[in-house]
Amino acid sequence: MPTVLVVDDAVFMRRMLGDMLKREGLDIIGEAENGQIAVDKYKELKPDLVTMDIVMPKVGEVVSGIVAVREIIKFDPNAKIIMVSSMGQVGLVIEAMQAGAKDFVSKPFNASRVSAAVKKALHGEDDSAL
Amino acid sequence: MTNRENMRTGQIKLLKQIGEVGAKRAAEALSSMISTQVDVNVSDIDVLFKNTFKDSVLAPRVPCFALILELEGKLGGNIYFIMSSAEAKLLGAALLGIAEEEINMDDVMFHSSLKEALNIIAGAYMAVLSEVTGLEVMFSVPDLKLDSHMPLVNSNRADEDETMLIKTALRIQNRNFEGLFLFFPDLPTINIICEGIEKNSNN
């Protein structure tokens, strides 16, 4: 069962996304509420997938989800990361993809979009119909 | 028409665009989030000046939740989305799929769900602002506060010359909610937005 680290400062979104990912057959092995914890937990748990919120409280040197992506990719160039953005954050999403993220979903996400992003990140499947 | 009147006309036009399109997007977004029909309508739009604002918006001292966002990047100012705590409790119950009586006002999950829902509504309006002006609208991590109206909107903000207001009505599971979207752009930002609208409408 693929493992996943869910990163979001909102506990409600972590629970909502976690429930969707479990239904996709993923094992939630960790959660993080900011970018610094996300980087630390990635190194410790080495999950198969990370979902990463973009805008989170600034803690330590990892001041955003995008910086966390850079740090994780530096540690593991094969890391598979899906960005989770709010509406209208197009510029930040592009920056995150350039930093190495595999895909993105916009809040509020639905199960089919999350499923497509997971398949694309884990297996390289791109379902453009979604 | 004076420059100030021109600016006010421009702001009203902007608010109408943001209100009409933003409400539709917010409804779609919230429906998707809680898997139930959500209707969002704009019941009032106005540009208020400081005295009117204090009297008409902040007078009722009812406990409220406010989502507070600070604009970042090229634009400056603050955004507030305010909802009475009684209505927030109902909204929280709908979001969490539990009865209103089960909501604990101090519960972390309740606060988090409310913050995300209000953030999505504010985000929908800001996404439209970005589209009509052609500007990238960036904002801070949202902050959720519970207090009476006046302290929520800090005194400096309430003294600003102009406040843009969108009164938003939500209907979820046959229940009505009302929220106030308040946008306090600083003066350079008003000018940037007006220029952006003009430039974008000419393209």
Distance, in Å, from the CA atom of B193 to the CA atom of B199, rounded to the nearest integer, reads 10
Count of domains observed in chain B: 1
Q: What is the pLDDT of residue A129?
A: 39
CB nearest B123 (choices: A11, A16, A88): A88
Q: 10 Å Cβ neighbour count for B6?
A: 11
- A57 to chain B: closest CA residue: B141
Helix residue ranges per DSSP H, chain A: 11-23, 35-45, 65-75, 90-99, 111-123
Strands A81-85 and A49-53, how do they pair?
Answer: parallel
CATH number at residue B163: 3.40.1550.10
Q: Would an 8 Å CB–CB cutoff place A10 in contact with chain B?
A: yes
- Position B56 scores a pLDDT of 60
Per-residue model confidence (pLDDT) at position B157? 60
DSSP H helices in B35-84: 50-56
Average the pLDDT over B137-141 and give the result. Answer: 83
Touching check for A109 and chain B: CB below 8 Å?
yes
Proportion of chain B above pLDDT 90, given as a percent: 5
Q: At what angle do helices B187-202 and B108-133 cross, to 10 degrees?
A: 50
From the list B29, B109, B141, which residue is nearest A9 (CB)? B141
pLDDT (tens digit, 9 = 90+) per residue, B17-74? 788 888 888 888 888 777 778 888 887 777 777 666 666 665 566 788 888 888 888 8
Instruction: Provide the pLDDT for residue A66.
Output: 92
Give CA–CA dist A100/A81, Å, rounded. 8
Contact residues, chain A, for B137 at CB < 8 Å:
88
Residue-averaged pLDDT of chain B: 79
- The candidate with the shortest Cα–Cα distance to B65, out of B160, B125, B156, B144, is B144
Strand pairing report for A3-7 and A27-32: parallel
Q: At what angle do helices B108-133 and B85-96 cross, to 10 degrees?
A: 100
What is the β-pairing status of strands B143-148 and B63-72?
Answer: antiparallel
Give the amino acid at B133. T
Between B9 and B21, residue with greater pLDDT: B21
Which SS3 state, helix, strand or coil, does residue A80 take? coil
Q: What is the pLDDT of residue B53?
A: 64
pLDDT < 50 regions, chain A? 128-130
Please report the ipTM that was assigned to this predicted complex: 0.78
Tell me the whole-structure pTM to 2 decimals: 0.81
Q: How far apart are CA A96 and CA A43, in angstroms?
A: 19
pLDDT at A128: 44
3-state secondary structure of B52: helix
Identify which of A89, A86, A83 has the alpha carbon closest to the alpha carbon of residue A38: A83
Tell me which residue in A13, A56, A89 faces B116 most closely, judged by beta carbons.
A13
| 8 A C-beta contact, residue B150 and residue B38 | no
Question: Are B141 and A107 an interchain contact pair (Cβ–Cβ within 8 Å)?
Answer: no
Domain hosting residue B132, numbered range: 3-202
- What is the Cα–Cα distance from B11 to B164, expressed in whole angstroms? 8
Q: Are B180 and B81 in contact (CB under 8 A)?
A: yes
Pairing of strands B77-84, A27-32: unpaired
Which domains, from first to last, does chain A contain? 3-114 (3.40.50.2300)
Write the CB contacts of B137 (distance below 8 Å, at least 6 apart in sequence). A88, B71, B73, B75, B126, B127, B129, B130
Q: Does B137 touch chain A (CB under 8 A)?
A: yes
